[in-house]
Homo-oligomer: A and B are copies of this chain.
Amino acid sequence: MSQRKMRLGAFIMATGHHVAAWRHPGSQADSGTNIDHYIEVAQTAERGLFDQVFVADSPGLQYKGDDEALRRQGRVSYFEPVTLWAALAAVTKHIGFVATASTTYEDPYLLARKFASLDHISKGRAAWNVVTTSADNVHGNFGLEAHPDPAVRYERAHEFVDVVKGLWDSYDDDAFLRDQASGVYFDPQKLHALNHVGKHFRVKGPLNIGRPPQGHPVIVQAGSSEDGKELAAATAEAIFAAWTSLGEAQAFYRDVKGRMAKYGRRPEQLLVLPGISPVIGRTEDEAKAKWAELQGLIHPAVGLNTLASFWPIAELRRFELDAPPPWYPEPPKGINSRAHVVIELARREKFTVRQLYEYLAGARGHWVVVGTPQTIADRMQEWFENGAADGFNVMPPVLPQSLNEFVELVVPELQRRGLFRTAYEGRTLRENLGLERPASRYTASAQELAA
C-alpha cells in the first residue's frame, strides 16, 4: 500500500497574505488585476505539483475602518474568481481551481452554470468554495436592507448547494450520442428537469450544459462556526481551517469528521486542510529577518484596521500601541469563530495592541511558521501524521516570491520524506485529491430502484 500523501492547495491573495505584502519588493503591487501575475503564480503552483489554487472572495468591497487605512491597503481591486480561473485553465494542464462564490448573494442557476462551464473548460479541475459571506457591508449591492442573519444564510446555503448539485445532474453522463450518420444528437430521456420548490428557491431546470467532467465540481467549505461545520459535514469534500496549535487542529479534525456519519458520509470523503503561512529562510536567522522586514512595512493605520472587527476604530485610535488593549470585547456569537481565537489569545498572552495587529498581519490569524524548509516540513509532518490535517492550504506571505520559495525549497523536502507526490496521479482535481466522482442523483435512484 502506498504511503498516504499530503494534499496541498495554494491560497492566493493577490500580492500575498501579509497585510503589507504589496509594499514588499518580492510582490507584484498591481497583481489584483494583473493576469500575467496570476498566470505565473498558477504555473509555479503546478510546477510544484499543488493540487489546487484557491482565491477567497466577497461580492463587494470589504472594508471597515478609516480612509487612512483604506488608502494604504492593497486589497481593493481584484478579479472575479470564476472568470480568473477560466483564463488560467487555458494555460495550465493539471492544477485544480477553487473559486469562492456566495450562496447569499448569487443565483443558483447562474452559479451552477458558471461552475459547470469552468469544469468543462478545465476538463475536470473546478471546485466551488461555498461561502455565505460574512461581510456585513455588501448587502446594499444587491438591494437588501440588511445582511441576513447567519441562521438564514446557512439555511439558504444548504438549499442552494442541493439545487446546484441537482442542476449539475440535468444530463446523464451518457446522454450524448452525437451520431452524425443517424442524426441523433442525444437522448431526451437522459435529460432531467429539477423542478425544485423549496423555502428559498424555485428552480425548474434543466441546466443548459452537460454533466461536468467531474460529475460535480469539488465542494469546498471554510470557516469553523457550528453552522459552518455542519454545512461542511453535510456537503463539503475539502474544508479550509484556521488553527495555530496542534491541539486545536486535532479537536477540529475529529469534530468535523465526527459529524459526517449522520449525513451518510465517511470521514475520508472530507479533506481537512488547515492554513499555513510559511516564511522561509535558508537559515532560521534569514527566516526571522524576512519576517521582521515584512512586519516593519506595516503602517499603524493598516495595523489598527486589522483589529476593526474587534474594537470600534475610533476607540482603537486612542489606544496606546505598545500596551495591552484597555478592554476586551465579547466575541461575536457563532458567526466567525476566528474572532474567539484571537480575543482569547490576546487575553492569554497579554499582547500589546501592536503585537496583536502584527500577529494578525501575517495571515489574518492563520498559522504563521517562520523557519527553514526543514523546520516548516517538520511542523507540517507533525500535523499531517497526528490527526490534525489531510494536507494544507499554503498561504504565501508575499506573491510571487514566497510561493517560488515554497516550490523550490519546501516541496522537495516534503517529497524526500515521502509525504508529497512526485507527479500528478490523475487527470481531474478529484482524481488528484483521491475523491470519488459522484453519481448522478437520477442514475443513483435508478440503481437503488433496481437493487
Q: Given A77-B210, A114-B80, A180-B22, decide whether A35 and B123 contact each other with a Cβ distance below 8 A.
A: yes
B residues less than 8 Å from A141 (CB atoms): 109, 203-205
**Chain B, Cβ-Cβ closest to A191:** B76
Q: Any chain B CB within 8 A of the CB of A29?
A: yes
Q: Any chain B CB within 8 A of the CB of A264?
A: no
Q: Given A59-B113, A188-B70, decide whether A180 and B29 contact each other with a Cβ distance below 8 A.
A: yes
B residues less than 8 Å from A142 (CB atoms): 107, 109, 203
- Expressed in whole angstroms, the Cα–Cα distance for A74 and B177 within the complex equals 10
B residues less than 8 Å from A176 (CB atoms): 30, 77
B residues less than 8 Å from A114 (CB atoms): 80, 82-83
- Are B90 and A87 within 8 A (Cβ)? yes
B residues less than 8 Å from A78 (CB atoms): 208-209
B residues less than 8 Å from A205 (CB atoms): 141
Which of B24, B107, B185 sits near A72, CB closer than 8 Å?
B185
Q: Any chain B CB within 8 A of the CB of A329?
A: no
Question: Which of A117, A201, A302 has most B Cβ within 10 Å?
Answer: A117
Tally of contact residues, A, Cβ under 8 A: 77
User: Would you give the shortest CB distance from A35 to chain B, in whole angstroms?
Assistant: 5
- Are B110 and A59 within 8 A (Cβ)? yes
Q: Any chain B CB within 8 A of the CB of A376?
A: no
Q: Any chain B CB within 8 A of the CB of A289?
A: no
- Are A76 and B208 within 8 A (Cβ)? yes
Q: Any chain B CB within 8 A of the CB of A151?
A: no
Q: Any chain B CB within 8 A of the CB of A341?
A: no
Residues of A44-83 at the interface with B, using a CB-CB cut-off of 8 Å, are 58-62, 67, 70-74, 76-80, 82-83
- Are A77 and B117 within 8 A (Cβ)? no
- Expressed in whole angstroms, the Cα–Cα distance for A20 and B107 within the complex equals 34
- Are B71 and A35 within 8 A (Cβ)? no
Q: Any chain B CB within 8 A of the CB of A91?
A: yes
Q: Any chain B CB within 8 A of the CB of A382?
A: no
User: Would you give the shortest CB distance from A138 to chain B, in whole angstroms?
Assistant: 9
**Chain B, Cβ-Cβ closest to A89:** B87
- Are B61 and A208 within 8 A (Cβ)? yes
* Contact sample, A vs B, 8 pairs, CB 8 Å cutoff: A20-B183, A32-B210, A33-B120, A39-B90, A71-B184, A72-B185, A87-B90, A90-B90
Leading 5 A-B pairs by shortest Cβ distance: A140-B204, A80-B117, A86-B86, A77-B210, A83-B86
